[in-house]
């Protein structure tokens, strides 16, 4: 598999004398999630009787998925091939990479490989789901090599917004596949662990057939700033206030938490940790050695009031304005332990995830109304991304010189923009694969091409129901949300179809009944008239139902220009 | 009212010898919308028997206002004082300033004052609502002076993202009030009409008691770039493609449209105008002389295919990804006249309005999938704001040197940030009023202070219903949207309460019935058992209903962890 060393980027081309197609070993790569979307990352690599999976994530539903709690990949293909699956390899501990694991492990029992912090977070999750006893968790380091079936799996350390993130290199019978994981290139990382260039250089020399690359920030020119720049902002804020300082950020951003602790130590402040997931992550990270907290630095939330304001730092969840999160409650005086007071300084150390803009905005508003000094992304450098921008992606491409690339972890626009970027570096457009969920890409030593599809897609989780809410239910929820529902009930004599009781009308979400009493009364008369006017004697439900539905649809639209769901119900006795 | 000239900013202080309070004339300022929010701008100025109103806007509902089409200010106060209202003065033709006019004029018949383009757009709107015949529209220019009741009203030209925008200066018996309108300071505006500094300087010298100032961009340091910078981007895009160019922008951004036309002319392309509101605005603007279109430049959409690609420009609506707008349809091959093709260049010359991010993202994705080259705000300077950034606001404050300021056209965070900015210029914090909708601020020659409130708030428009959807209906819609509805119908004998038919269960938006057939069957049995187990003979509806509701709520929550709305209906015969 080794290739001659080259200077600068030159995409690896096919051999000059290809073997006949049929004799070349063929490896399949099948994304089950994380392409054409940001979220629920999951990728399948298959050869003969061996399958490995990279990541098992969830996606948080947009507002259009009414009432849905989580979205996970459809893993029918893995269930059908359960006996082949040799292991799931996790790149890092974010929800969009590990959050689907409980749902996956309920369906297929397979070993799970991850670094220490990643598995620490996984263990919590599996314990909550009652799955920890049967889980086969294998802790790896970036220097390990794991042989599973036909695959040799290696790892390389990357920088990201959570520690202990790795990329994965898979040696397959058809060539080397490299998966970047979620990465950025931080030249001055908080934990001093820079992305492992040397391994990348080695893979590049060896020859990379397929590179699966984080494309989330491919639209951004330049480099993503170092996490340390946020620490500089913290220091400048700490330097100029004697009030309490409250910092909200993503619970999983352990580097950010470390910087809060370091800054607090520098300014002789203690730190209280508030919010369920923040407490969990700080616990796990500290136990496993990913957080370095001076003795006596942490205080309980109950102790805050015993300290002078200028010795208090509070680190909390709620940076996304989530209604139940700690900061949101503190800002509305609904938190058990902490209420934001006039004069407090609140740092929202995060960017709103698309869709959360209004919630965050509302929290900022509430904080200002209390009289807090709010420091947020519009007015200060309080957050940096964890994903590589264009220059970092280019560097990665030059290190690896892959023959084919799959832009991962992005919408279609990111895939398309990645293709443009790749072309400027001499990668042919058709070698940058804009892949869709469920497509099977077959790779041999010569080429990668799409050869078919497998059953795949999204499964919605609502309450404890997995997959019992589909498009019809969602369509009804949308319809109900727009215009509400009107139910019309009639009891008829099953012998002759005479109306014995009703019609009764009940509505919800349609119109304010006190204001619209007359209209509903009139609607009732219309239905009554329609039922009287019909050919008597019919007991054909569908005829009666259509009659009622049509009468009410027409009447309500004429009166209100709205179209509630009309549900006629016929009772027979 | 005249004040000595001063160098630099010095806030105007009260006189040294105040007259006794009771003898000072008092003017009230009451915002009915546009404070603590961006949208539905409306401000009342009142003295004795005279009221004038500045703007009458709408707000587009966020997704949380399920099914609502528009939100307008509650104008009860104006209706109660209809005989006092002398006129509505419009600052410019954007929907959040004129969109509420039809609803207002249906309730109070008053003269409307506006510049030519503003009234041109108003006329269209009133015609649609069948109100044009009775409307009393008065066209003004920035140089007019209008005396209404106790007020002398003057105007000054401002720059904004629509032509013909003005600010308003109102001389009142208690001093001078200046309202900025929506403004930016464009030193090189497309129509060469720079904001009228000289008038501002004059007002400053005269002495401004109260300044009502656009605060939308107060978080942004520096200056908002000139509209012309977008024209530069257009030119660079036009220069490098021979394909068709499609540009989506806000229909009301006539300067932007002018720049498209100018660039098209420069590159020997024709322009087709597509999308209802775009056609309307181009028509009105051209008729009134706000668009300068060379003869033969405009083509019909039908003619596009007769021209070579490199002679085609299409300007269209849909920059917000609105499902029914032209670009959205073109991108999904659902437009009657135009379909985007591989190789087309599409410029999205706009920023997503908060809440529209996902819709815009979806449209960009669709365009990329077709193979179009998409130019959007993440990758090029295709849009600039129409609102003043910090330096422009400071300049305005230095010109006017107001004693009191109301930051307008902003959320609370903008009001609070404005106060910080004002303080850096020596305006006392308590002179920057963070006002709420419905608060009455009384102003005399000495001071401005809050003295009470009037009836005010939001009125929701749904279909043709104005105000018939309130919080209860919205709460039900949210509940329906989250978990759907289950209806349980029972027919009972009114003599003895025996169940004659049912229970029947019907659900919508709760659970996929094919998957959950068993559960619904079991639910039915549970209700039947509960009804059988009750003390027979009760015909008390509320007892029966509660029994059914409790039984089903408990059962469904246990089975699904969801809480659909359960609607028991009892029929008696």
For A34-83, how does the pLDDT look when each residue is reduced to its tens digit (9 = 90+)? 999 999 999 999 999 999 999 999 999 887 888 888 999 999 999 999 99
B:206-245 residues touching chain A, CB 8 A cutoff: 219-220
Nearest-CB residue to B464 (from A472, A476, A561): A561
Q: What is the pLDDT of residue A6?
A: 40
Lowest mean pLDDT among A60-64, A414-418, B419-423: A60-64
With CB atoms and an 8 Å threshold, state whether B357 touches A355. yes
Q: Is residue A170 part of a domain?
A: yes
Q: What is the pLDDT of residue A516?
A: 67
Alpha carbons A163 and A92: distance in angstroms, whole number:
8
Indicate if B460 and B525 belong to the same structural domain: no
| Chain A residues within 8 A of B361 when measuring between CB atoms | 354, 411, 413
Alpha carbons B164 and A570: distance in angstroms, whole number:
61
Q: What is the pLDDT of residues B185-211, one digit of tens each?
A: 999 999 999 999 999 999 999 999 999
Q: What is the pLDDT of residue A543?
A: 80
Indicate if B233 and B146 belong to the same structural domain: no
Cβ–Cβ under 8 Å, residues A254 and A290: yes
From residue A568, how far is each of A527, A546, B319, B505 by CA, in Å?
Answer: 10, 8, 41, 12
Indicate if B436 and B546 belong to the same structural domain: no
With CB atoms and an 8 Å threshold, state whether A476 touches B509. yes
Q: Could you tell me the CATH number of the domain that includes residue A142?
A: 3.60.15.10
Indicate if A494 and A416 belong to the same structural domain: no
Q: Is residue B40 part of a domain?
A: yes
Stronger pLDDT, B154 or B526, i.e. the higher one: B154
Indicate if B218 and B246 belong to the same structural domain: no
Looking at chain B, the whole-number percentage of residues with pLDDT higher than 90 is 74
Indicate if B180 and B54 belong to the same structural domain: yes
The answer to the question of whether A96 is labelled as a binding residue is yes
Q: Is residue B6 part of a domain?
A: no
Q: Is B387 a catalytic residue?
A: yes
Q: What is the pLDDT of residue B546?
A: 86
Q: How far is B341 from chain A (nearest CA, A)?
A: 16
Lowest mean pLDDT among B10-19, B285-294, B423-432: B10-19
Residues of A annotated catalytic, as ranges: 214, 387
User: Strands A439-443, A27-33: parallel, antiparallel or unpaired by DSSP?
Assistant: antiparallel
Q: Is residue A522 part of a domain?
A: yes
| Chain B residues within 8 A of A478 when measuring between CB atoms | 481
With CB atoms and an 8 Å threshold, state whether B485 touches A485. yes
Q: What is the pLDDT of residue A5?
A: 40
Indicate if B176 and B255 belong to the same structural domain: no
Indicate if A499 and A558 belong to the same structural domain: yes
Indicate if B256 and B242 belong to the same structural domain: yes
pLDDT at B536 over 70: no
Q: What is the pLDDT of residue B164?
A: 96
Confidence of residue B7 (pLDDT cuts 50, 70, 90): very low
Q: How far is A229 from chain B (nearest CA, A)?
A: 20
Q: What is the pLDDT of residue A372?
A: 95
Mean pLDDT of chain B: 91
Indicate if A269 and A405 belong to the same structural domain: no
Indicate if A528 and A426 belong to the same structural domain: no
Q: Is residue B130 part of a domain?
A: yes
Q: Could you tell me the CATH number of the domain that includes residue B504?
A: 3.10.20.580
Given A421, A446, A466, the domain boundary residue is: A466
The answer to the question of whether A543 is labelled as a binding residue is no
| Chain A residues within 8 A of B484 when measuring between CB atoms | 67, 473, 476-477, 480
Catalytic one among B255, B387, B414, B431? B387
Alpha carbons B16 and A240: distance in angstroms, whole number:
37
The structure tokens 């410029």 sit at: B347
The tokens for B314 are: 């299409």
Residue A544 domain boundaries: 471-572
Mean pLDDT of all residues in A489-502: 80
B:112-151 residues touching chain A, CB 8 A cutoff: none
pLDDT at A3 over 50: no
Q: How far is B416 from chain A (nearest CA, A)?
A: 7
Q: Is residue A19 part of a domain?
A: no
A:444-473 residues touching chain B, CB 8 A cutoff: 462-465, 467-470, 472-473
Indicate if B198 and B324 belong to the same structural domain: no
pLDDT at A8 over 60: no
Alpha carbons B362 and B331: distance in angstroms, whole number:
10
| Chain B residues within 8 A of A487 when measuring between CB atoms | 487, 506, 567, 569
> Distance between terminal CA atoms of chain B?
80
Confidence of residue B53 (pLDDT cuts 50, 70, 90): very high
Q: Could you tell me the CATH number of the domain that includes residue B369?
A: 3.40.50.10710
Q: Is residue B420 part of a domain?
A: yes
State the total domains in chain A. 3
Question: Closest-CA residue in chain B for A501?
Answer: B573
Q: Which of B481, B541, B556, B562 to mutate to test the interface with A (most CBs of A within 10 A)?
A: B481
A to B CB pairs, distance under 8 Å:
207
Helix, strand counts (H, E) of chain A: 15, 26
Given B421, B446, B466, the domain boundary residue is: B466
Question: Closest-CA residue in chain A for B419?
Answer: A368
> What is the H or E stretch that residue A363 is in?
helix A357-370
Given B433, B466, B499, the domain boundary residue is: B466
DSSP letters spanning A261-297: HHHHHHTT-EEEEESHHHHHHHHHHHHTTS----TT-
Length of chain A: 573
B571 in reach of chain A (CB within 8 A): yes
Largest CA distance in chain A: 91
A430 in reach of chain B (CB within 8 A): no
Looking at chain A, the whole-number percentage of residues with pLDDT higher than 90 is 75
Q: What is the pLDDT of residues A506-517, one digit of tens each?
A: 888 988 766 666
> What is the H or E stretch that residue B71 is in?
strand B70-73
Nearest-CB residue to A571 (from B64, B484, B571): B571
Q: Is residue B537 part of a domain?
A: yes
With CB atoms and an 8 Å threshold, state whether B472 touches A512. yes
Instruction: Supply the ipTM of this predicted assembly.
Output: 0.82
Cβ–Cβ under 8 Å, residues A100 and A73: yes
């Amino acid at each position: 598999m080794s290739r001659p060393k080259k200077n600068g980027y030159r995409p690896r081309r096919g051999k000059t004398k290809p073997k006949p197609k049929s004799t070349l070993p063929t490896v399949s790569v099948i994304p089950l999630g994380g392409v054409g979307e940001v979220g629920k990352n999951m990728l399948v690599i298959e050869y003969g009787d061996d399958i490995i999976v990279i990541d098992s994530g969830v996606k948080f539903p947009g507002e259009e998925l009414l009432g849905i709690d989580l979205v996970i990949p459809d893993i029918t293909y893995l269930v059908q091939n359960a006996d082949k699956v040799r292991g799931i390899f996790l790149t890092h501990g974010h929800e969009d990479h590990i959050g689907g694991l409980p749902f996956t492990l309920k369906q297929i029992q397979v070993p799970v490989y991850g670094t220490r912090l990643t598995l620490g977070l996984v263990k919590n999750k599996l314990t909550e789901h009652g799955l920890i006893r049967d889980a086969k968790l294998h802790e790896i380091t970036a220097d390990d090599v794991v042989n599973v079936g036909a695959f040799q799996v290696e790892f390389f350390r990357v920088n990201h917004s959570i520690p202990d993130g790795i990329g994965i290199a898979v040696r397959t019978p058809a060539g080397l596949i490299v998966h970047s994981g979620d990465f950025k290139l931080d030249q001055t990382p908080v934990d001093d662990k820079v992305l492992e260039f040397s391994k990348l250089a080695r893979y590049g020399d060896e020859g990379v057939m397929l590179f699966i690359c984080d494309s989330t920030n491919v639209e951004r020119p330049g480099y993503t700033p170092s996490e340390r720049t946020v620490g500089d902002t913290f220091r400048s804020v700490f330097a100029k206030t004697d009030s309490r300082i409250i910092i909200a950020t993503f619970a999983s951003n352990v580097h950010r938490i470390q910087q809060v602790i370091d800054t607090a130590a520098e300014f002789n402040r203690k730190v209280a940790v508030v919010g369920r997931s923040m407490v969990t992550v700080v616990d796990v990270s500290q136990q496993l050695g990913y957080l370095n907290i001076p003795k006596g630095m942490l205080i309980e939330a109950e102790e805050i009031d015993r300290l002078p304001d200028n010795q208090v730092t509070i680190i909390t969840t709620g940076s996304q304005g989530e209604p139940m999160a700690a900061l949101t409650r503190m800002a509305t005086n609904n938190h058990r332990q902490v209420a934001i007071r006039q004069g407090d300084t609140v740092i929202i150390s995060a960017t709103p995830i698309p869709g959360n803009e209004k919630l965050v905005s509302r929290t900022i508003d509430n904080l200002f109304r209390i009289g807090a000094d709010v420091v947020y992304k519009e007015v200060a450098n309080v957050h940096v991304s964890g994903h590589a921008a264009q220059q970092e992606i280019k560097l990665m491409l030059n290190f690896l010189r892959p023959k084919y690339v799959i832009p991962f972890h992005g919408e279609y626009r990111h895939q398309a923009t990645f293709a443009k970027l790749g072309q400027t570096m001499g990668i042919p457009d058709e070698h940058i694969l804009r892949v869709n969920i469920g497509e099977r890409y077959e790779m041999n030593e010569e080429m990668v091409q799409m050869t078919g599809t497998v059953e795949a897609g999204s499964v919605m989780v609502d309450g404890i129901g997995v997959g019992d809410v589909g498009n019809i239910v969602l369509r009804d929820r949308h319809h109900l949300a727009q215009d509400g529902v009107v139910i019309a009930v009639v009891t008829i004599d099953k012998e002759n179809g005479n109306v014995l009781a009703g019609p009764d009308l009940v509505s919800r979400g349609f119109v304010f009944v006190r204001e619209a009493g007359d209209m509903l009364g009139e609607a009732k008369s219309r239905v009554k008239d329609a039922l009287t006017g019909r050919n008597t004697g019919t007991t054909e439900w569908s005829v009666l139902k259509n009659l009622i539905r049509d009468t009410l649809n027409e009447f309500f639209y004429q009166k209100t220009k709205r179209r509630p769901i009309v549900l006629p119900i016929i009772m027979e006795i």
